[in-house]
């Protein structure tokens, strides 16, 4: 089986495609509501000191897993022109702002989730509603088992620069 080769490290992996090109994939965590974490900007800058776009990697895909839209947007502009993609996750709700930033990084604040949207972030509604009413966690969260939707992005990058040339949001939503 021609499975791509991978090198993994702390919070990242490098996938070697069948054509020999390598893609760096990494995830950083935001700090709004999670102040005890290390700085995501410094973490990515350290990683980028070993992997250079258009040098030893053909594309750099960054997932910023964070709560606040302003934090994710600031992070995107901070790395605009230095990575191929900054895609937000964690809220489970897709945003309608997929675009290419001025210096060539594809960006979206949140790609959304793949799962049952007739739920609260993929969980059966009862426990989150009880929490809303009582202000503290009560019942266990149970994964919702309804039919799933799929949300994501498709990004095309330039072979030489590694910058994004195209970003398109896609979805499959059952009837």
The pattern of x and - marking residues 39 through 78 that bind Fe ion according to CB under 5 A reads ----------------------------------------
Cβ of residue 135: shortest distance to Fe ion, in angstroms?
21
Note whether 117 and 149 are within 8 A (CB): yes
From the list 8-16, 40-48, 87-95, 149-157, the region that binds Fe ion by CB under 5 A is: 87-95
Listed ranges 1-9, 25-33, 89-97, 115-123: which one lies at the site for Fe ion (CB under 5 A)? 89-97
Beta strands 5-9 and 12-16, pairing class: antiparallel
Q: C-beta of 120: minimal distance to Fe ion in Å?
A: 14
User: 82 or 90: whose CB is closer to Fe ion?
Assistant: 90
Stretch that binds Fe ion, among 26-34, 82-90, 110-118, 142-150 (CB under 5 A): 82-90
36 vs 25, 31, 39, 153, CA distance in Å? 24, 7, 9, 30
Say whether residue 82 binds Fe ion (CB under 5 A).
no
Strands (E), 11-130: 12-16, 22-29, 59-65, 85-89, 99-100, 106-108
Among 159, 138, 141, residue whose Cα is nearest residue 59: 159
Instruction: Give the tokens for residue 32.
Output: 């709004």
In the list 58, 71, 84, 90, the residue contacting Fe ion (rule: CB under 5 A) is 90
- Interface with Fe ion by CB under 5 A: which residues? 90
């Amino acid at each position: 089986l021609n499975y791509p080769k991978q090198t993994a490290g702390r919070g990242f992996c490098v996938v070697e495609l069948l054509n020999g090109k390598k893609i760096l994939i990494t995830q950083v965590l935001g700090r709004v509501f999670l102040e005890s974490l290390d700085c995501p900007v410094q973490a990515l800058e350290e990683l980028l000191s070993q992997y250079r776009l258009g040098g030893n990697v053909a594309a750099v895909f960054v997932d910023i897993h964070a709560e606040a839209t302003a934090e994710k947007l600031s992070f995107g502009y901070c790395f605009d022109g230095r990575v191929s993609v900054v895609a937000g996750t964690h809220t489970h709700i897709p945003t309608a702002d997929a675009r290419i930033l001025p210096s060539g990084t594809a960006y979206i604040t949140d790609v959304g989730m793949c799962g049952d949207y007739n739920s609260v972030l993929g969980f059966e509604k009862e426990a989150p509603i009880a929490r809303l009413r009582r202000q503290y966690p009560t019942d266990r969260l149970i994964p919702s088992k309804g039919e799933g939707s799929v949300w994501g992005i498709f990004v095309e990058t330039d072979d030489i620069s590694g910058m994004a040339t195209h970003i398109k949001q896609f979805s499959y939503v059952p009837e």
